[in-house]
């Protein structure tokens, strides 16, 4: 007899090249979420970022330096660490090497005031070379977040303009260690040691362009020491512009304790599908001294080891694994009884269909397909009119402040789309393809032909982007915004 899991995995296979298994929703761990901590005013933490080209030899580049674009000298990725209640004051100075290469910072997953959201034209003027902009806000949620450019994202993020934002204040008791694992590919030609194309026609109209180098924290399968037999927090962040991973841990027990930065009742990690921009916080029982465990991506066709963990020192814990949960978030609960419903349909444009259907688009040009449009994707039939933001379309919807909404998200395409909402987080209610525990998320992975329902309270006034986080899709039309008034 098929178990529920086999059934779910089997259903998820249909129509996709990859199998997307779902993690079990059955709780095995008994400890309950903590109450949220009270928000008290903290310190002001000032950082100065200079977006610039820097020749950096990440360990994965095998001794070569590449002309990365980064926010700061020194360590990549930069990490900002705050306590809940602290105000971040981040100055962004643009020293990018190209005329008219404007930039900005979007604080991904942070429910902040609209004018701090970093979307050029929509909420701020793009920061031109030589100019500066000051971001100032108090993040309302503790957890694991990240930040990235929202201008020419395919190239700027492709070259490294991103960082990690951690807001402390969500633990109920200390873990034995706390590590960040930023997962992404690098679009690098290994022969020449140069960046390869960040945007390809084939990628934009299909599943996106994959990088040749798979990395964690800029290294290939790095060895990460963990306190032996400790309960170790791992903040796993997929910042790849394209790749959907199926994350698992081998040779250690691991639980998911947060999704997109926000606490969930701990449940066992089996395989978790993580699209671009998605995060999970894991607690892993580290191996004993000298023994190894592995973080893997099990997406077909090939299992890839992303990082390995080696136990160090005297054993920290002897009791059975029952990880400490985090503290609940303070996201307002949507009222499902009086929620208004809106539908969003994600599908290809006519030009996108033509390119996607072309036998082999490698080396194909728009001209040879008799297509002049660079728009391959739409939301509710409307494409973003330009890769850039300079020509703003009307909003996809106007929402009333404090009203609850249920969005039905329908993917009418053969590719996956991680759909990201700015300024809010939504609660996943149900899906016709994947079985996942109810949770909050700012980015929801929609499988091919999947229909999912999400709900949230439109409590944050302003114009908020709503887009696919496969950056080539975003920049070829699958982007829009809604207005909360
Ligand atoms: Cu992380 Cu509008 O994006
Ligand atoms: Cu997409």
For the CA of 119, the closest atom of ligand 1 is 2
- Spatial CB neighbours of 299, under 8 Å, sequence gap ≥ 6: 18, 244, 245, 246
CB-based contact 83:169 (threshold 8 Å):
yes
Residue 321 DSSP SS3: coil
Rounded to 5 degrees, what angle do the CA atoms 30, 32, 33 make? 145
| Mean pLDDT value across the chain | 91
pLDDT at residue 16 in the model:
35
- Classified as helix, coil or strand, 135 is strand
Residue 200 or 105, more confident: 105
Do the beta carbons of residue 264 and residue 24 sit within 8 Å? no
Q: Is the dihedral of CA 105, 110, 116, 118 positive or negative?
A: positive
SS3 category, 227: strand
Q: Is the pTM of this model over 0.85?
A: yes
Q: What is the pLDDT of residue 374?
A: 79
CB distance 473 to ligand 1 below 6 Å: no
Q: What are phi and psi of 61, to 5 degrees?
A: -85, 5
Tell whether ligand 1 has an atom less than 6 A from the beta carbon of residue 150.
yes
Q: What is the torsion angle, in degrees rounded to the nearest 10, for the CA atoms of residue 310, residue 315, residue 316 and residue 319?
A: 110
Nearest residue (by CA) to ligand 1, atom 3, is 108
Give the least confident one: 270-284, 369-383, 411-425. Answer: 369-383
Neighbours of 315 (CB within 10 A): 13
H and E: helices and strands count for the chain: 5, 32
Residue 2: pLDDT band by 50, 70, 90 thresholds? very low
Q: Using omega within 30 degrees of 0 as the cis cutoff, is the peptide bond preceding 342 cis?
A: no
Percent of the chain at pLDDT exceeding 70 = 91
> What whole-number distance in Å separates Cα of residue 197 and Cα of residue 188?
8
Task: Tally the C-alpha atoms within 13 A of residue 292's C-alpha that lie toward its C-beta.
Answer: 10
Q: Ligand 1 centroid to 73 CA: how many Å?
A: 23
339-371: pLDDT as tens digits: 999 999 999 988 888 877 775 555 555 555 555
Give the neighbor-by-neighbor strand order of the sheet with 426-431.
377-379, 340-348, 404-411, 451-457, 426-431, 440-441
Q: For 268-323, how does the pLDDT look when each residue is reduced to its tens digit (9 = 90+)?
A: 999 999 999 999 999 999 999 999 999 999 999 999 999 999 999 999 999 999 99
Residue of 369 and 168 predicted with greater confidence: 168
Beta bridge partners of 91: 48, 134
Residue nearest atom 1 in ligand 1 by C-alpha distance: 108
Per-residue pLDDT, 37: 85
Which whole number is the average pLDDT over 3-21?
36
- 465 Cβ inside 6 Å of ligand 1: yes
Is 59 strand, coil or helix?
helix
């Amino acid at each position: 007899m098929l178990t529920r899991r086999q059934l779910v995995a089997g259903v998820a296979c249909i129509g996709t090249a990859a199998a997307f298994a779902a993690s079990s929703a059955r709780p095995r761990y008994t400890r309950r979420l903590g109450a949220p901590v009270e928000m008290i005013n903290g310190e002001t933490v000032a950082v100065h970022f200079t977006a610039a080209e820097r020749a950096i030899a990440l360990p994965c580049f095998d001794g070569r330096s590449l002309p990365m674009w980064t926010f700061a000298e020194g360590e990549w990725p930069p990490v900002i660490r705050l306590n809940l209640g602290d105000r971040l004051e981040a100055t962004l100075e643009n020293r990018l090497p190209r005329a008219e290469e404007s930039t900005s910072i979007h604080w991904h997953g942070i429910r902040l005031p609209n004018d701090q959201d970093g979307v050029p034209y929509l909420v701020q003027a793009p920061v031109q070379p030589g100019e500066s902009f000051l971001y100032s806000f108090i993040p309302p949620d503790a957890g694991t977040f990240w930040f990235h450019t929202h201008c020419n994202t395919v190239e700027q993020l492709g070259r490294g303009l991103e960082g990690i934002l951690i807001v402390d204040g969500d633990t109920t008791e200390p873990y034995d260690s706390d590590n960040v694992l930023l997962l992404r590919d690098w679009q690098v030609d290994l022969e020449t040691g140069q960046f390869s194309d960040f945007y390809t026609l084939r990628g934009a109209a299909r599943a996106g362009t994959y990088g040749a180098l798979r990395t964690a924290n800029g290294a290939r399968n790095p060895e990460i020491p963990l306190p032996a037999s400790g309960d170790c927090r791992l903040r796993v962040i997929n910042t790849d512009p394209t790749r959907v991973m199926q994350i698992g841990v081998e040779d250690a027990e691991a639980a998911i304790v947060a999704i997109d930065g926000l606490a969930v009742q701990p449940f066992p990690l089996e395989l978790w599908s993580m699209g671009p921009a998605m995060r999970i916080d894991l607690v892993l029982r580290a191996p004993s001294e000298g023994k190894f465990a592995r973080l893997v991506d099990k997406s077909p066709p090939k299992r890839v080891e992303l990082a390995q963990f080696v136990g160090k020192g005297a054993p920290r814990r002897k009791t059975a694994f029952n990880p400490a949960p985090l503290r609940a978030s303070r996201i307002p609960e949507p009222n499902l009884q009086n929620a208004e419903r809106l539908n969003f349909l994600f599908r290809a444009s006519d030009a996108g269909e033509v390119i996607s259907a072309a036998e082999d688009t490698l080396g194909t040009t728009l001209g040879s397909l008799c297509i002049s449009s660079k728009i391959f994707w739409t939301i509710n039939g409307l494409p973003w009119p330009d890769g850039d933001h300079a020509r703003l379309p009307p909003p996809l919807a106007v929402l009333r402040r404090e009203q609850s909404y249920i969005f039905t998200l329908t993917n009418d395409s053969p590719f996956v789309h991680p759909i990201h909402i700015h300024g809010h987080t939504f609660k996943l209610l149900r899906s016709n393809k994947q079985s996942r525990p109810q949770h909050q998320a700012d980015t929801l992975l929609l499988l091919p032909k999947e229909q999912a329902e999400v709900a949230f309270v439109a409590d944050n006034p302003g114009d908020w982007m709503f887009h696919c986080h496969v950056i080539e899709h975003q920049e070829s039309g699958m982007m829009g915004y809604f207005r909360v008034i």
